[in-house]
Amino acid sequence: MASKDALIVVDVQNDFCPGGALAVKDGDQVVPVLNGYIDKFTKAGLPIFATRDWHPAKTSHFNTSGGPWPPHCIQGSKGAQFHPDLKLPPDTVIVSAGMGSDEDGYSGFLGINDSGAKLVDLLRQRNIERIFVGGLATDYCVKHTVLDGLREKFKVVLLTDSVRGVNLKPGDSERAIAEMLHAGAEIVTDLQRFTE
Ligand code: VGL
Ligand code: ZN
């Protein structure tokens, strides 16, 4: 890890964890792993971004309005809160996505902060060139965030020990990882080789 590196924690929210409205199997298991990475980035003085799925109560993203998903991560709800054990530092840059009434908002790059600034601009302002990505879910928001990061010309490292997938179809997560690799992401099992 070096200056120009940032960590992006994708959608580690209650609704994607066991007991939540759109629970990802073992979703909460990413929390201690990500806490370790958060600690490393914090100690190295590198910025941390956290995206959150942040939907209105009525949206075409939900099966109550013809969409694919049960209602989840509704703005301001308990389910939309970050997992209580996720140790985000106070200066974490929080970016919200999926706020429109007719969008899925799967990519963190579709997200904005409280002032309306887009993730790509927040990264560029800080001269970030490489992003390390982990979180939920491998086959949706993690995948789209990684692919958009590559499209925006960032180097992207996927932290496979800190992601879990929805797997609507068996193998979706593996296919998502293959797609990210093919698009140019570096796939690593842990951060060790970047911190040696
Ligand atoms: C997500 C499904 C629906 C995600 C968000 O964060 O990966 N997946 N909304
Ligand atoms: Zn969603």
Pocket residue to mutate for ligand 1, from 72, 95, 148, most atoms within 8 A of Cβ: 72
What are 1-24's pLDDT values in tens digits? Answer: 889 999 999 999 999 999 999 999
Tokens found for residue 83: 């997992």
CA 141 to ligand 1 center in whole angstroms: 5
pLDDT in tens, 51-94: 999 999 999 999 999 999 999 999 999 999 999 999 999 999 99
Query: Could you give the angle at the alpha carbon of 125 between the alpha carbons of 119 and 126, nearest 5°?
Result: 95
Q: What is the pTM of this model?
A: 0.98
Task: Answer whether 136 contacts ligand 1 (Cβ < 6 A).
Answer: yes
d(CA 176, CA 182): 10
3-class DSSP state of 168: coil
Which residues crowd ion ligand 2, with CB under 5 Å? 53
Asked if residue 156 lies in contact with residue 185, where contact means CB atoms within 8 angstroms, the answer is yes
Distance 10 CA to ligand 1 centre (A): 10
Q: Is the pLDDT of residue 44 over 70?
A: yes
Query: Residue 131: exposed, middle, or buried by beta-carbon count in 10 A (0-12, 13-18, 19+)?
Result: buried
pLDDT of residue 195: 77
Cβ neighbourhood burial of 84 (10 Å; 0-12, 13-18, 19+)? exposed
Report the pLDDT averaged over residues 151-177: 98
Separation in Å, CA 78 to CA 19, 21, 73, 74: 12, 11, 8, 8
The alpha carbon of 72 and the centre of ligand 1 are apart by a number of angstroms equal to 9
Going from the N-terminus, what domains does the chain have, and what CATH number goes with each?
Answer: 5-47+77-88+116-193 (3.40.50.850)
